[in-house]
Structure 1
Amino acid sequence: MSVELLSMRRRLLLSLGLGAGVVTGASCIELASTDSCFEMAEEADDDGIVVHAQYRPEADGECLHENASAVSSSAKQEWCGAELEAVACGPVRNGDWCEYVVVFDEQPNPCAVIGRPFLVGAESVCAPVRQRGGWSAALGSVRLPEDPQLRAALSAHWAEVAQAEHASIAAFARFGLQLLQLGAPPRLLTACREAMVDETRHARAAFELAARFGGQGSLGPGSLPVADACADSDAVAILRDVVLEGCLGETRAAAEAREAARSCAEPTLRRALEAIAVDEERHAALAWSFVAWLLDARPELASTFAALVDSVLELPLVAPSGSVDAPSWGLLSAEARRRIDREVRRELVAPLAAALLARHQRADNSATQVHVRVC
């Protein structure tokens, strides 16, 4: 896992109040009771999937090394059938719980538009690009490549980004109404309103860049079809949209923008991408914070959330059209974007969802059943 994704996961965990642990490996491993356990987990990371697991023994029961096999059977569903390879550390007694650091054979991840898509039903909706005023932005000078094909590719790319960012404004507008419907707290409403402002700024910058690279007049959005946009308004439908649009879409958008900025050599483009990355990560945190609040308010939706996450992880990887490999211009190849998609699902979405569900399970009385805590 890249340092960027590792840092991003730490920040998202902190935003959810789950940042007491230390993140490492293919999952977040809460710091065990001894430093040696943590060091062993780091060493094991190169060999497979590292998971910090725990179970509660019977009353007065001992923590036994053999119980790691029970932990592994519970974890197999979480990690696509991976088999226990080794117990890197443990058991360590932590209050009523026995804790382990276990390593699973790393299996190819069978689990399968950047930004927060505006979904109407199952379709991602966006407005066409038009020549019009009102959507330009003051970005400073931008160096243009000499290659006309690269300029055209950059113009097309930023036009697509502009469409996606413009659609995200609508997605957050709808989300604001949904938050009001569900009785969400002011902090979520404020964050949603600020996200709309962010997406408007992103869209303006993207339309400006598309126009400059294309050598055209001012560009902006046409009419956005919004009919039936609020047709599904029950809590399950809202949660579904947030998981897909926010927990996956915004989290992936932040990671992709950060990767594009890291390799971009053109200063104005790099600054634009860095700003987008920061904002999109904040939007991802909003999505995850909403889920955390909703699970507290509606505990019966925990199993629904788990099923929704499973279905999202199994979606086919996004296959970007027209991706040109020009990283020095902030253009990632289709292969790079698919890699980021895979990594985000595995290293961010799955562990963050598991952390929220584990917290819910503990709050809901975790009795004596074996479970795996992945954060």
Structure 2
Amino acid sequence: MTMTPCSSAQFRSALARQLTRAILTTATLGLAVEGAACGGGIMQGGASGDGGGGASIDESSGTRGATGGQGGNGGQGGNGGNGGEDAGDAVLSVQGGGGHASPDTTKVCVAWEPRGEGGYGGAGGSGGAHGGACPPLDLTDPNIPFETASCWPDTLGGGFLVDGEWCCYEFTANCSAGAGRPFLVGERARTARAQRTAAGGWGAAACPDLAELAQATRAALAEAWLRDALLEHASVASFSRFALEMMAVGAPAEMLAAAHEAARDEVRHAALCFGLASAYAGAALEPAPFAFGGAVEVTADLAEVAARAVREGCIGETLAAVQASEQLAHATDAAVRGVLATIADDEARHAELAWRFVAWALQTGGDAVRRAVAAAFEAGLEAPPPAAAAVAAAAGALAAHGRPDGAVLAASWRRAIAEVVTPAMRVLLSA
């Protein structure tokens, strides 16, 4: 099912009506809310339907580095080139026992073994003579011990030496909504790490037009779409857990079926995003094994399941749908528009499922569920808009390829909260 393109304002209006109708129907009030004609999938009522169809992307191959640069004697970091691992590189090696990382994952330290002067094939940056300085850090290197692999390190500070043995790097993690249903461990989103392969098995096909893109722009696009790919990939785990918890609390069969269909949608979304990231990077990118950290928590406490559905679905996926529609409104590249149209349409249905489930939980669970749901909304709506990392690339080219300015997305986030999430929440809690 392909959504007919419409403005982001029309999308928000249609989504708000769709969610309201779903809530009231689930709450057995027998009321119908008529929606505005914006586009195919988003205006479908009732149970979750089929997701959008996949597109296709040329598979690429490459070597180490998310958007790796050319190694050697201080070579300028390029896009998707040969990551610097020659004999002249300064090599980062992980300390025995998994490395040295801070508990809050705001800093990661790795052992440094200098091997002379040379460039380092990092994230599209400049190589150079390191001397006593730390080289750039390759965020896709699976040997780098980010302790929980949660979120995506999107603001990376320069490395600094500690005790002459460790190169330490400070970063901030991007856990923002906007790419599917997050997989939460406690209150933190967790994703797999990314890795390069000779022939990726995750890159669905899409061929964005790369002809006029500078290397810095391609590097920024590769990183942004890779971040989304990892979040979409984590959404598969989130829906899988949601399905188990639905079974544990006795949810209706049609909701359970919709959760499994949504998980399949997220596999497709991840493949589409990995495909775009690979195309921009010039190398096949895919997720590394997902580090769940032991047993995955599945609870039979209806209040807890409903509160998580609020955070991950009613808020997270509603914002994801609206953000995808905003990205689509600014994108001009045909391949990118196809991916975003699919994601926006599917995420709207996924959001509807979350709202319907919470409405059912409120009808089923009584005051304890109502208190948990209200608290989850209060905490979720207090969160600030996501802050986009600054990139040294042309804003117009980024927007054309689905990555509008951070200020645009923050404004869209605020409008989504005001025009979609808050009104739907009021209907939900008053039903």
- Is this a same-fold pair by TM over 0.5? yes
Match of residue 143, structure 1, among 184, 209, 213: 209
Matched with 1:123 is 188
* Residue pair 1:113, 1:320 contacting (<8 A) in 2 also: no
Q: Which residue of 2 aligns with 1:196?
A: 263
Shift of the 23–350 alpha-carbon distance from structure 1 to 2, 3 Å rule, reads farther
Contact 1:120–1:228 under 8 Å retained in 2:
no
1:118 and 1:168 in contact (8 A); partners too? yes
**In the aligned structure 1, how far is the partner of 2:311 from the partner of 2:295?**
18
The answer to whether residue 27 in structure 2 is matched with residue 20 in structure 1 is: no
Q: More helix per residue: 1 or 2?
A: 1
In 1, the alpha carbon distance for the partners of 2:388 and 2:21 equals 31
CA distance in 2, matches of 1:232, 1:185: 17
From the superposition, tell whether residues 262 and 339 of structure 1 become closer, same or farther in structure 2 (CA, over 3 Å): same
Deviation at 1:252, TM superposition (A): 0.4
Superposition TM-score, scaled by structure 1 size: 0.68
- Give the CA deviation at 1:146: 2.6
* Letter of the structure 2 residue corresponding to residue 151 of structure 1: R
**2:248: which partner in 1?**
181
Alignment of 1:1-375 (within 5 A): 2-17=9-24, 20-21=32-33, 113-114=177-178, 115-132=180-197, 133-139=200-206, 141-144=207-210, 145-216=212-283, 218-226=284-292, 227-230=294-297, 233-300=300-367, 301-322=369-390, 325=395, 326-359=398-431
The residue that corresponds to 1:79 in the other structure is none
State the identity %.
34
Q: 2:228·2:273 contact (CA, 8 Å) conserved in 1?
A: yes
User: What SS is found at the alignment partner of 2:227?
Assistant: helix
Q: Which runs of 4+ in 1 moved over 3 A?
A: 17-24, 322-325
Q: Which letter does structure 2 place at the counterpart of 1:310? A: E
Residues 160-179 of structure 1 deviation map (CA, whole Å, 9 limit, x = unaligned): 01000000000001001000
Are the aligned partners of 2:12 and 2:419 in contact in 1 as well (CA < 8 Å)?
A: yes
Q: Which runs of 5+ in 2 are unaligned?
A: 1-7, 26-30, 37-175
| Secondary structure of the structure 2 residue equivalent to 1:319 | coil
C-alpha distance in 2, partners of 1:252/1:21?
21
SS in 2 for 1:195: helix
Structure-2 separation of matches of 1:125 and 1:16: 29
Asked if the contact 1:119–1:229 (Cα under 8 Å) also holds between the matched residues in 2, the reply is: no
Q: Deviations over 1:134-161 (max 9, x none)?
A: 112133x321143111111111111001
Aligned-partner Cα distance in 1 for 2:213–2:425: 45
Secondary structure in 2 aligned to 1:269? helix
Separation of aligned partners in 1, 2:384 and 2:300? 26
Deviation at 1:290, TM superposition (A): 0.4
- How far does residue 334 in structure 1 lie from its aligned partner after superposition? 1.2
Contact 1:243 1:309 in 2 (8 A): yes
Q: Distance in 2 between matches of 1:229 and 1:338?
A: 32
- Specify the code of the residue in structure 2 equivalent to 1:4: F
CA distance in 1, matches of 2:24, 2:428: 10
Amino acid at match of 1:334: G
SS in 1 for 2:323: helix
Shift in alpha-carbon separation, 1:3–1:213, aligned structure 2, 3 A: same
Would the alpha carbon gap of residues 205 and 187 (structure 1) be closer, same or farther in structure 2, given more than 3 Å must change?
same
In structure 2, what residue type is equivalent to 1:354? R
Aligned position for 2:167: none
Q: CA deviation at 1:320?
A: 2.8
- Do the aligned residues in 2 keep the contact of 1:250 with 1:280 (CA within 8 Å)? yes
Output the CA distance in 2 between the equivalents of 1:211 and 1:23. Answer: 38
Contact kept, 8 Å, 2:18 with 2:35, in 1: the verdict is: no
- Secondary structure, aligned partner of 1:16: helix
Equivalent-residue separation in structure 2 for 1:261 and 1:243 (angstroms): 25
Shift of 1:240: 2.0
Secondary structure of the structure 2 residue equivalent to 1:138: coil
Q: Which residue identity does 1:12 align to in structure 2?
A: L
How many Å separate the matches in 2 of 1:233 and 1:183? 9
AA aligned to 1:282 is R
How well do the aligned residues superpose, as a CA RMSD in angstroms? 2.1
Query: Aligned partner of 2:205: which letter?
Result: A
Q: Supply the distance in 1 between the matched residues of 2:298 and 2:10 (Cα, whole angstroms).
A: 41
Q: For each residue in 1:303-328, what CA deviation from the matched residue of structure 2 results, as whole angstroms up to 9, or x when unmatched?
A: 32122211211122222334673322
